[in-house]
């Protein structure tokens, strides 16, 4: 545990001492995770107790996936990659998941529950290589990577 994390945990215990007579670290971590996980669910797949109605207006960005579609897809796919190997074995990945258009946007695929599924990053990139060509996608990743890298030199 880093010193910063230890200091935050200690401070949380101190702040919770009025609410709980003798808060221990495990109780504090448990309560912190109870707050963190719903926030992460909200960001990842638009989970909310009171979702807004689906908008009839489509986004001008064809890659945009509406929150109502994300919620349904995440629940339908069980928060797991849906890629199946040629032998029919489903990928077991539950980390690094991305929304994948079965019919690519460039081919007219839309962000609908029927056209969107969950893929882990490696399978999503493999599908993009298959759809757009490996050379094209490698160049696109190189350009995007160059844009996102920040130079620290003056």
Please tell me the distance from the alpha carbon of residue 76 to that of residue 151, in angstroms, as a whole number: 42
| 99: CATH | 1.10.30
Closest CA to 118 of 68, 74, 65: 74
40 and 71 housed in the same domain: no
Give the containing element (helix H, strand E) for 142: helix 134-148
Asked if residues 102 and 115 have their Cβ atoms less than 8 Å apart, the reply is yes
50 located within any domain: no
The pLDDT, as a whole number, for residue 153 is 40
Please tell me the distance from the alpha carbon of residue 131 to that of residue 137, in angstroms, as a whole number: 9
Closest CA to 101 of 76, 148, 135, 69: 69
The pLDDT, as a whole number, for residue 54 is 63
59 located within any domain: no
Find the domain containing 102 and state its range: 67-148
104 located within any domain: yes
Please tell me the distance from the alpha carbon of residue 41 to that of residue 6, in angstroms, as a whole number: 26
3-state secondary structure of 31: helix
54 located within any domain: no
**Phi and psi angles of residue 90, each rounded to the nearest 5 degrees, phi first:** -80, 140
The pLDDT, as a whole number, for residue 81 is 97
Domain count, the chain: 2
Each residue's pLDDT, cut to its tens digit, for the chain (154 residues) gives 899 999 999 999 888 888 877 878 998 999 999 999 989 988 888 877 676 666 656 667 888 999 899 999 999 999 999 999 999 999 999 999 999 999 998 889 999 999 999 999 999 999 989 888 888 888 887 887 766 544 444 3
The pLDDT, as a whole number, for residue 22 is 80
């Amino acid at each position: 545990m880093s010193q910063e994390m230890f200091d935050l945990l200690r401070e949380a215990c101190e702040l919770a001492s009025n609410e709980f007579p003798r808060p221990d670290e495990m109780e504090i971590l448990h309560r912190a995770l109870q707050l963190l996980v719903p926030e992460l669910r909200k960001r990842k797949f638009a989970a909310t107790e009171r979702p807004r109605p689906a908008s009839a207006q489509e986004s001008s960005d064809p890659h945009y996936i509406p929150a109502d579609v994300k919620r349904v897809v995440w629940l339908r796919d069980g928060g797991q990659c849906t890629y199946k190997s040629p032998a029919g074995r489903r990928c077991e990945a539950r980390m690094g998941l991305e929304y994948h258009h079965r019919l690519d946007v460039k081919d007219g695929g839309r962000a609908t529950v029927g056209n969107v599924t969950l893929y882990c990053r490696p399978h999503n990139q493999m599908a993009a290589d298959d759809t757009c060509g490996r050379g094209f996608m490698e160049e696109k990743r190189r350009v995007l990577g160059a844009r996102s890298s920040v130079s620290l030199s003056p």
